[in-house]
Structure 1
Amino acid sequence: MDARHARYPFLDGAREAVQRADVALVDLVNRERDHPAVTRGRERVERALVAGTVASEDPRVDARTEVLSYPIARVVVSLLDAPGAVEKYAASEAATAHERFVEDLERGGQSRLGGGDPDVSLDAFLREFGLAGSVRSVDGDYRVDVGEYLELAPEGESWRLVRRELGDGAVTVTRSELYDLLRQAVENRVADGLPLAVPDEIADPLAPVAESVSATLSSADYPRSFDRVDPDSFPPCIAALLDRAQAGEELPHRSRFALVSFLATVGMDAAAITALCGRSDEQFTYTAERLASDESGAGTYPSPSCATTQAWGDCVNRDDLCATIDHPLSYYAARLEGAEPGGEGDTGETAD
């Protein structure tokens, strides 16, 4: 297990390194429940769900601990049984990986890994995700076969095929946009198979770890109770997501979660959420019903923080108030204090 595996534990090489080391996860968690890899796995999930990153706050974590923390984190997030947990975790793993491989690839593999590691190259990443035959460099840009492009392209107007140069079955993208496609490939791989069907011999010793993560999430410091729903007081990020939903855009699951969890926490039930968003499709309705199951809003899964929203690329149109808060719900509370009830855009609803 080396630094490359530690930075990118979702790679096939990292999994093979764990297998070569003959590490049995069930033995590890049963033998030493406070093993550094278990501790780091818990931190990995907590940071993913609260801060939008899986990077450790301790720079001294060794490569072996970092690699082993990844499968443990996948088990822990599977044990949470919380709406949106898998999506939020996978998006945060991908956001951290994106930050790292942009650093590594733009510096020719010369960053924290040291030396020109041939396994930390654009070609290596393309091979990892089965894209080597689907991506070609042309005059400083890249041509991506349309099938792979459609599979990996983020949602958004600029990514629509009609807005792209298309020829000979391939779409032209910039290097930065190719990195965005790789980020989605990472997210897809991390999310694949989650939530896991965890056997009792692993679930039982890790249940307290999952409970600790749940306690951390429930104690997050942001407002949870509001006396009314006023869309004019929504923070810019939520307003933008709402506009996209109302326009009929298919939001990425992480963005859909951010929007719906916010609306549920401010006091809207599933019917009100789907009505406000103008959506009745099955996927959107299911998300609303899952996240707004508690009419009080107290039991809903935490709405993403500003740090998470920024990591996911949904932080837009920041204003002066954004600079003073760290959570969209705090923004909303501040705006409500200065807004007149019944103002333009007020739905007239109250939150119990």
Structure 2
Amino acid sequence: MDNKDIALYPYISEASRYVESLDFSLDRLITSRAFDSARIRGKERVLQSIAGEITKPSMSNSDEQKILLELLSYPFSRILVSCMDDPFLTRRYALAEAVSSYRSLKAQDFSFFEDFAQDFDIEFQFHDSSFRVHFTDYIKLASSLKAIEWKLVNRKMVRGNVDISKEEFARLLQEGIKHRIESNLPVSVPPEVCEACESYLVEIRTALEERKSNFGDSEFESIESDLFPPCVTHAIANTQAGVNLAHSMRFAMTSFLLSIGMTVDDIMNLFTASPDFDIEKARYQIEHIAGSSGTHYKPPSCSTMQTYGNCYAPDEMCKKINHPLNYYRRKLWFKSRDAKKETQKETPDVIAEQTQQK
């Protein structure tokens, strides 16, 4: 892997070793005027993650200054995120870095993935212009992807290996990248270092509060995808399978997910597999539905869904409700009721056991 590549993917082991070989101190990175550009770029990475996607500059191996700037900006951006110590920002930053990597990974040659996947302890084989990944690695990476087409039972498996396309492999690696970055944040940063970074943190803090103000509180305490109505489940499955949804169905799915408390970032993550995915356009549309224009849009009723041909495989519950949100409310209520019943069944046994012990 050349220097240009390790600058594009600064969280890999080879990038860390390269930065360590430069033999510079944390104090120099924080205070030296020689690293002003690296600090500004580090702040820009965090601000871009709040606003949307982290954009990477075009580079060649001869662009030594650009390569150095990208490599040094990454540890500084991690320092800034750690000083903020905000879970929302941490998740957003990790996702933005991962999505940016996904977009560049899709354009890489097959041979590039050999070193890259090895850094994540993932073994694979080339077969007929596609990848074969061992099912244990597949499960590890796909576990956070909820659409049914990512379920192992819906995949072709040959001798313990799962066949996937290059784009699907890049999508799975996106999950691995996000997990690596998020699980290693926040890092332990001395208070005096955070104080020295305050001039950078002011702008980040302001941007973060503005972004948070665009989201209203949801009535739902949790997001449970197994309780979604069939129409939404089908739409999500198609989205993650790379199928372009009709505009009316995109609106219905997005407004439903926002209403139950899913963030713009989470929904953006669902749309990354769409063939016509445009991150700026998608973010604008999702945030518009979320209420950035002053109007928070609610999902359409079941009758409207039927009118537009978006009602899919209605079940028995669908016959008793008139709105997708009511479907989700009822399913949550039944799940809560059943959980209480199970608790009540166990309680007498626990009391009897405690009485016998006394």
Question: Shorter-chain TM-score: which interval?
Answer: 0.5 to 0.7
CA deviation after TM superposition for structure 1 residue 89, in Å: 0.9
Matched, 1:155 2:146: yes
Deviations for 1:82-132, whole angstroms, at most 9, x for unmatched residues?
2322121111101101111222327xxxxxxxxxxxxx712121222222x
AA at the equivalent of 1:205 = A
User: For the residues of structure 2 that align with 1:259 and 1:80, how far apart are their CA atoms?
Assistant: 30
Is the CA contact 2:28–2:35 (under 8 Å) kept in the aligned structure 1?
no
Is the CA contact 1:144–1:173 (under 8 Å) kept in the aligned structure 2?
yes
> Where do 1:182-201 residues align within 5 Å?
182-201=173-192
Once the two structures are aligned, what percentage of the paired residues are identical?
19
AA at the equivalent of 1:244 = S
Deviations for 1:211-268, whole angstroms, at most 9, x for unmatched residues?
3201023235975679xx899xxxxxxxxx978363399x9xxxxxx999955xxxxx
Match of 1:206 among 197, 204, 218: 197
Is the CA contact 2:79–2:187 (under 8 Å) kept in the aligned structure 1?
yes
Match of 1:80 among 77, 84, 88: 84
CA deviation after TM superposition for structure 1 residue 336, in Å: 5.2
AA at the equivalent of 2:55 = A
User: For the residues of structure 2 that align with 1:126 and 1:209, how far apart are their CA atoms?
Assistant: 34
Moved more, 191-200 or 309-318: 309-318
CA deviation after TM superposition for structure 1 residue 66, in Å: 1.1
**What is the match of residue 225 of structure 2?**
244
> Where do 1:114-125 residues align within 5 Å?
121-125=112-116
Deviations for 1:294-319, whole angstroms, at most 9, x for unmatched residues?
xxxxxxxxx537xx84465369899x
User: For the residues of structure 1 that align with 2:121 and 2:295, how far apart are their CA atoms?
Assistant: 48
**What is the match of residue 304 of structure 1?**
264
**What is the match of residue 54 of structure 2?**
54
Q: Provide TM-score, normalisation by structure 1.
A: 0.63
Greater relative contact order (Cα < 8 A, sep 6+): 1
Q: Larger C-alpha radius of gyration, 1 or 2?
A: 2
Specify whether residues 261 and 216 from structure 1 end up closer, same or farther in structure 2 by C-alpha distance, changes over 3 A only. Answer: farther
User: For the residues of structure 2 that align with 1:128 and 1:176, how far apart are their CA atoms?
Assistant: 19
**What is the match of residue 135 of structure 1?**
124
Structure number with higher helix proportion: 2
User: For the residues of structure 2 that align with 1:220 and 1:331, how far apart are their CA atoms?
Assistant: 10
Matched, 1:69 2:65: no
Corresponding residue SS for 2:184 = coil
Is the CA contact 2:264–2:283 (under 8 Å) kept in the aligned structure 1?
no
Is the CA contact 1:38–1:72 (under 8 Å) kept in the aligned structure 2?
yes
AA at the equivalent of 2:132 = R
Corresponding residue SS for 2:163 = strand
**What is the match of residue 271 of structure 2?**
313
Extract unaligned runs of 5+ from structure 1: 107-119, 232-240, 252-257, 264-275, 278-287, 289-302, 348-352
Matched, 1:330 2:291: yes
CA deviation after TM superposition for structure 1 residue 135, in Å: 1.0
Corresponding residue SS for 2:109 = helix
Specify whether residues 322 and 150 from structure 1 end up closer, same or farther in structure 2 by C-alpha distance, changes over 3 A only. Answer: closer
CA deviation after TM superposition for structure 1 residue 202, in Å: 2.1
**What is the match of residue 179 of structure 1?**
170
Q: Provide TM-score, normalisation by structure 2.
A: 0.62
Aligned pairs, number = 272
User: For the residues of structure 2 that align with 1:22 and 1:64, how far apart are their CA atoms?
Assistant: 13
CA deviation after TM superposition for structure 1 residue 198, in Å: 1.2
Corresponding residue SS for 2:187 = coil
> Where do 1:264-303 residues align within 5 Å?
303=263
CA deviation after TM superposition for structure 1 residue 332, in Å: 8.1
User: For the residues of structure 1 that align with 2:223 and 2:293, how far apart are their CA atoms?
Assistant: 15
User: For the residues of structure 2 that align with 1:225 and 1:200, how far apart are their CA atoms?
Assistant: 32
Specify whether residues 311 and 26 from structure 1 end up closer, same or farther in structure 2 by C-alpha distance, changes over 3 A only. Answer: farther
Specify whether residues 204 and 136 from structure 1 end up closer, same or farther in structure 2 by C-alpha distance, changes over 3 A only. Answer: same
